[in-house]
Amino acid sequence: MPNLHDLERRINSVNSTKQITRTMEMVAAAKIRKATERVDAATPYSASMAEMLGNVADSAGTLENPLLSVHDDEKNVLYVAVVSDRGLAGGFNSNVLRHVERAVHEAQAKGASAHVVACGKKAITYFSFRGIDLDLVFTDLSADPTLDEALQIATLAIEGYTAGDYDRVVLVYNHAKNAAEQQLREEVVLPIDADRLGTPAKATGEEADTATLKGDPIFEPDADAVLDSLLPAYVKTTIYHALVDSAAAEQGARRTAMKSATDNANEMVETLQRFYNRVRQGAITTEINEIVGGAAALEE
């Protein structure tokens, strides 16, 4: 049975850990608001881009852009894994990493070659340890992604898909459903699905609440040229939106994980304190018995 000194030291250790987890919980809670605001600011632009592309696609005579064409043989697949640079976020990283690793093995089992872009230190460590080659890596940007990061990923994906180096480009990240819940998403970036372009409701598969304005727009130089210019911008916007969405999900996951750790620390302290009181009471009772026994022996 541990003595009182050992129990006191363990209680102090748990209390110190609890202070750290509580602080991290408050920091994550403060960052959630800023990250959510970035997602809210990027969402209307992404939705408007899809709506505008749909209108241009409807006006274009043909849809022969290489970013819209589906490759007959899927021999090379590029996976973009978006995770965090730091841990202590529950299953936030492991869900994405295991999903991508499983997809890589499935692609290789089918005779295809799988490529990975790692966004976040945890992804770099995970895939490097397993011998999976990385085409592009990013660090120290998971909590605050930049447009330049999205541009580099989009450039690699677009150039590789156009040249035939990649036959499909897939984004894997955690969507911030709300401040407390994250949802794993696998989104095909290339080839672009022309059926999803259009109104925001059409892009998300929901019913439109308002009627779309009809018209006969004039394009310069023509609709096909405008479409060729907008499609790369659409890919960049989609990737950037996924990055900021993942950043918001990271803070939510870390807040939830740290709150759970703090609650567990509180329960552990209560349990240890009760055990400490029992041991202390037992020690006091033993001392009283010894004093009483000694006094009785002296009287005899």
**Are 176 and 194 found together in one domain?**
yes
**Residue 118: strand, helix, or coil:** strand
- Is residue 300 a part of any domain in this protein? no
**Are 140 and 274 found together in one domain?**
no
CATH value at residue 66: 3.40.1380.10
Q: Give the pLDDT band (50/70/90) at residue 100.
A: very high
Question: How far is 66 from 225, CA to CA, in rounded Å?
Answer: 13
**Are 12 and 94 found together in one domain?**
no
Range of the domain at 183: 28-254
With residue 114 as reference, give the H or E element that holds it.
strand 113-119
**Are 173 and 274 found together in one domain?**
no
Q: Measuring CA to CA, which residue among 258, 241, 253, 247 is closest to residue 34? A: 247
Q: Give the pLDDT band (50/70/90) at residue 59.
A: low
**Are 202 and 101 found together in one domain?**
yes
Q: Which pLDDT tens digit goes with each residue over 191-242? A: 887 766 654 444 444 444 444 545 666 666 666 677 777 888 888 888 998 9
Average confidence (pLDDT) over 126-150: 87
Tell whether the model's pLDDT for residue 107 goes beyond 90: no
- For the chain, give the percent of residues with pLDDT over 90: 13
CA torsion sign for 123, 28, 47, 232 is negative
Q: Give pLDDT, residue 219.
A: 64
How many domains would you assign to the chain? 2
**Are 91 and 120 found together in one domain?**
yes
**Are 69 and 199 found together in one domain?**
yes
